[in-house]
Amino acid sequence: MSLTNLLLRLRAPVDEPEVDHALFLLGYRNLRSSGFGQIVLTFLVTLASYEYAHALTLGIWLGYSILVGLFYFVLLWHFKLSAHLQKPDRRITRRWLRYRRALQLFSSIGWGATSFLMAPQAAAHNAFILIVFTGIVGHSAFANLANDFLGSMVSAGVTMLIFVAYLPQIYGENILTIVLEYGIYALALLVAMHHTQALLRNAIRLRLANEELARNNAEQARRADQANRDKSEFLAAASHDLRQPVHALLLLVEAYRQQVPAAMNHPLMQHITQAGQSINGLFNALMELSRLESGSEKPTLSEFDLPEALQGVLARSQPEAQAKGLHLRSFLAPGLERMRVCTDQVLLKRIVANLLSNALRYTPRGGVLLALRRCHGAACGLWIEVWDTGIGIAQADQSRIFDPYVQMANRERDRSKGLGLGLAIVRHACELLGLTVSVHSVPGRGTRFRLELPSRLIVAHPKSQVLLHFAQTKSDGVVQAGVWLRGRRVLLVEDDPLVQLAMQALLGSWQLDVRSATRGDASVLAVCAPDWVPECVLCDFRLPGTMNGIELLDFLQQKFPAAIGVLITGEMLPTVQQAAEDAGYMLISKPVDAAVLAYTLGALLERRNEERNP
């Protein structure tokens, strides 16, 4: 930079409030150490000069320098509150600049006056003063750059002039050499100070820019998270409203198929059923993947019986296996009957259910095995494995199968083979729970998916009963409930008229004794006569009235302690699912598969019979 540009810069400094505020904070933080340094060095010079300097001169210099040192602490106290301001204030920075320049000037006068402490015949002492003076000028010039370049330059110049003014009496004819040396030193300091302050201001600008960028990124991340949450909430609300008619459609179709068996062979009925099931699978997969990717779903840890949970998932997969003529079996290693784990039960069931569904979908013949075994190695605890005799996965494709919408064996995008979201859901859910999932496959021979549960999740506990299976799916696809279900009393609480009609039609086709209510309040008791006590309550979650589904089931449990509560809802929020688990109620998500509903009712009611008649 030329001298002209330098002078223009000194006359018209750049207005940068943020940079000036940062320089103020930097200078303020250095006040304490500068004040201690001023006082300590003053006493050291006084001790070194005690034998050589005039007593009065030394006393005046000592008193003056100590007062300057104390002034550092006065400024420290004066700007104490201002140093905690987060936003720049021009009035404060300008006042700081005035006070700090005055302090620099006073300090410069004191250190420039150290030449008066020299003695004509004390060469070693004079050399010491020269060294101290040279160091002080260099240190103060760069230490004060946090204030301003002009103040540093003026203070350094004043120090030089005062110091050199007394040197002729000490060095006589050698004074020109000393003045020349210090002139070169001052010029070098001036150039170095200019470049150093430019670098300092640029560094502060970069830091402020980085902080602003970090704030913007944090704000963008916050907005993205909020958008994800809003999206998840919207999808959850929209899904509930859209699931209702789909739920009713599937139930009505199933009820019609059972009342008119001849309609089963009509292609239109088959297409309607397939379309409804496709919509159901699409809703479930998209909603689940959306929640997991958005980060809105948080694990809810609870202790539960692992074999019972796996058996429940296996039972829900039986209809699909029987419809394809596949053998769906389970294996429980010896010694694991009493095994309990502590993790998110809902998410773990989803993982296993998706692995089973994937295995059944790509297994044209043979069977699928769900196994629970102890894993090998000290670091792990349990393996949940899903084996199949399906088409297998090529080695080159195994790294891609956990990506969304990837289907190695469905390049034609046949909707009957799913959407390619099941394994993506498995991967995200495993990451959320801190579990490890791996795959081993041989094309044409089958695949094994392995879910590893670490030992820290395992808790021992006595074995509990597992669900049994009581519905069968005939080869023609019609769900046949057990004959013993006839006449069993079921209370249905559903506010959607279409869904209520469909549920009544389906349950009536199974010859269940069904009564219905529409509100979540005490009016539900009006449908129950003294001689009619429900054995099972199928309840929606969102209900008009004062109570939601879980609260209504709690209320009915007090009135009918023997009744079994089942929550049937289109709500996909994990809080609802976990609340149902905590309250001890089974939750079935809409749209409900008729076979799953038959299995569930059969298992729950039979368990209640066994409890009454052990």
Residue 231 lies in a domain: no
Residues 137 and 255 in one domain: no
| Pick from 235, 312, 341: nearest CA to 466 | 312
Residue 126 lies in a domain: yes
| Tens of pLDDT, residues 542-556 | 888 889 999 999 999
Residue 8 has what pLDDT?
Answer: 43
Would the CA dihedral through 292, 298, 304, 306 be positive or negative?
positive
Domain boundary, last residue among 115, 148, 166: 166
Name residues of the chain where pLDDT drops below 50: 1-4, 6-12, 412-413, 461-479
Residues 322 and 438 in one domain: yes
Pairing of strands 586-589, 446-454: unpaired
| Pick from 298, 589, 533: nearest CA to 428 | 298
Residues 377 and 435 in one domain: yes
Residue 69 has what pLDDT?
Answer: 87
| Pick from 60, 172, 174: nearest CA to 114 | 60
C-beta separation of 491 from 528 below 8 A: yes
Residue 368 has what pLDDT?
Answer: 92
DSSP element (H, E) containing 343 = strand 339-343
| Pick from 329, 443, 452, 428: nearest CA to 387 | 329
Alpha carbons 402 and 535: distance in angstroms, whole number? 43
Domain boundary, last residue among 134, 166, 198: 166
Residues 396 and 524 in one domain: no
| Pick from 509, 590, 597: nearest CA to 257 | 509
Residues 368 and 402 in one domain: yes
Residues 443 and 517 in one domain: no
Residues 397 and 325 in one domain: yes
Residue 414 has a CB neighbour count (10 Å cut-off) of 10
Spatial neighbors of 87 by CB under 8 A, at least 6 apart, are 21
Domain boundary, last residue among 151, 166, 181: 166
Q: Look-up: residue for tokens 């670091």?
A: 379
Residues 381 and 486 in one domain: no
Residue 492 has what pLDDT?
Answer: 92
Q: Look-up: residue for tokens 């139930």?
A: 251
Residue 385 lies in a domain: yes
Residues 46, 50, 54, 58, Cα dihedral to 10°: 20
Residue 275 lies in a domain: yes
Residue 572 has what pLDDT?
Answer: 64
3-state helix/strand/coil string of 266-316: CHHHHHHHHHHHHHHHHHHHHHHHHHHHHCCCCCCCEEEEHHHHHHHHHHH
Alpha carbons 585 and 577: distance in angstroms, whole number? 10
Residues 310 and 454 in one domain: yes
Extract the tokens encoding 461: 């506990």
- Which three-class secondary structure state does DSSP give residue 54? coil
- Report how many domains make up the chain: 3
Alpha carbons 369 and 327: distance in angstroms, whole number? 8
Please tell me the pTM assigned to this model. 0.46
| Pick from 253, 280, 240, 277: nearest CA to 505 | 253
Alpha carbons 538 and 553: distance in angstroms, whole number? 9
Residue 219 lies in a domain: no
CA 360, distance to chain mean position in Å, is 34
C-beta separation of 487 from 507 below 8 A: no
C-beta separation of 457 from 320 below 8 A: no
In 510-593, alpha helices (H): 549-559, 574-583
Residue 363: half-sphere exposure toward Cβ, Cα within 13 Å:
30
Domain with 557, as residue range(s), is: 243-297+474-614
Check which CATH number belongs to the domain holding 555 and give it.
3.40.50.2300
Angle at 81 between CA 77 and CA 85, to 5 degrees: 140
Alpha carbons 113 and 137: distance in angstroms, whole number? 12
Check which CATH number belongs to the domain holding 366 and give it.
3.30.565.10
For residues 176-199, one letter each, b for 16 or more C-beta atoms within 10 angstroms of the residue's C-beta and e for the rest, the string is eebeeebeeebeebbeebbebbee
Residues 478 and 539 in one domain: yes
Residue 582 has a CB neighbour count (10 Å cut-off) of 11
Residues 93 and 18 in one domain: yes
- The DSSP code sequence of 86-119 is SS--HHHHHHHHHHHHHHHHHHHHHHHGGGGG--
| Pick from 122, 197, 188, 133: nearest CA to 162 | 133
Residues 561 and 432 in one domain: no
CA 338, distance to chain mean position in Å, is 34
Residue 86 lies in a domain: yes
Strand order in the sheet with 513-517: 513-517, 489-493, 536-539, 564-569, 586-589
Residue 493 has what pLDDT?
Answer: 92
Residue 525 lies in a domain: yes
Residue 552 lies in a domain: yes
DSSP code of 521? S
